[in-house]
Chain A
Amino acid sequence: MGPVVLKAPFPRRAVYLTVVRNVLHHLFFGAALSWIRNLAGTAPALISMTLLLILAGVVGLGGFALHLLADRESADAAVLHVYLSDDASSTDVDALRLKLSADSRVRSVSYTSKADALKKAQNRPGLGDLASGAGSNPFPASLDVKLKRVEDVSGVADSVSKEKAIDPVQPTSYDPGAYGRLQKALTYLAVGGGAFLAIFGLVAVLVTSNSIQSAIHARREEISIMGLVGAPNWMIRGPFLFEGALTGGLAGLIAGLLVSIGAGVGATVGGSNRLGALVPGFTVSTGVAAGLILLLVGILLGAAASLIGLRRHLMAPEG
């Protein structure tokens, strides 16, 4: 008779598998089941988190749109439009273009014809109907001068003001106070946005942890029993952390979907990218990204609020 081969699991591996199975069972599956069972108790936390996240999403998208606008304004501030007279000769225009190109403060010079200026105006919200409705083309041709530094705009504008090819009524786009106003607006925006985010974050954590705390309070008996029979704190904390993350995740998912859909509809209503026209860079994918961020924030917020809510129930014995 040949040797008998005993087939048995390698003991250490069997223990590891048991530990993994128990962790999955008690920390995740058990927590998920318990979360479903206690959904009614979790509802207030879920609703308040969803509302907070929707608000955060709307405010966040608004802030992002303002940031894009500020970026565009900032970039525009370093571009000087030199408007050309309708009867300027091509020789005068070429001479002016050469003069500007030779200026060390200038990065580049490009020409926009009257027809191109009209086309650009037709794409701008608010100006489109006005431009199309006008009998003749009211927009002048221009030389668009990109400068190396925004501070040089006034010097370059002065240097071309006496040129023959220039429109005598409105020679350039230079507005002496515009740059200062823009800087001031950007500072206010950053400070205001930062303060709002700090207050909002604090309120969100407080409201969410209070709501989740009520749900945890309703299950204090279970927590107390686990502690009294000798379950380690991480074993007690783990399922609640996961349940908090589930609550936050669901709130984030609902808020994310609503905000994404809202932003998507805003961006594509009427078949044209209206939001994109108002705020360059704002697209449907911006809304989707906002939705995903809200989902992640919801998960983190729910888990953090659960941890804070549990602290009271898991205090080490006094002394």
Chain B
Amino acid sequence: MKLSLLLDPRLIRIGVPCNSYATAMRAVLDPIRRNYSFEVSGEAIEAALMKPGETCEDRIENGIAVTRASIPHLPDLLIALLVPAAPVTAREGEVRLFVLLLSGSETADQSLKVGESFIRLANDKTLFQSLLTAQSPNEMIDCIAQAAIAVPSELTVSTVMLREVLTVSPETTLRELLALLCTRHATFITVADAQGKFLGEIHLEDILRLGFPDYAFQLGSLNFLSSFQPFSELLDKGLGTTADRIMKSPPYRLSPDSGVAEAVFEMVNHHHRSAAVLGPGNTAVGVLNTTDLLRKLFNLV
């Protein structure tokens, strides 16, 4: 599906003065409030948009800010664009194009795909520049149409992955590892060599599993004993164990271009709550996390 066909010229604003991220968000929402009526008040949507990570999700890359928000019972996917008169400073850098995606539960995955299309569009410097210099909404739509930007037919991992990857070296001790996991409230960490090459991954369960060799699982239950030597040993002496002894190689490989269905299948199949996403040079470029994945896929942002 062509991205240009989804755009409504009434929801595109060009050259609007915005002195902050919040002002820009209000400005991009404005034509939606004027042209569409919902059961939810405009103020409620605006309030939702002001809480990134809770009620909305934004992604800022290469001068574009894509904000996705879920509006219950919204029967459509609404795409609003705003080119500020001057770049707006945000925490991830300057924003030159704001994209607001409002979706209902039925259009959640489409919203993710459209967001991904805009991110890819911004990677094309020439196209992005021509969009920013468009004189009218229709000219902007024509520009996207001529570039034949398509909405991907399948959700890819890059759309839904978290880009912040916690990585440690193989020599990191369990004590250091646990400190890091606790500080960052994480349950998953990747292990990489000095060049950043992915060596393995560690799930919280892997750490606990150190206390239970294979024979314990062969027995199926340990209810007949009150203490278990390997587990006691882990608690007594385990903190010095290094990451390379805990890490495991994932039985599957996910890249940013892998399909979300494929990724979810692998995670479910291997009972993994997190998975590393590997990019060029075998470096971890992202993490898939079940909680975050569910939130995004079911549009619960």
Q: Do A and B bind each other?
A: no
Which residues of A approach B to under 8 Å, CB–CB? none
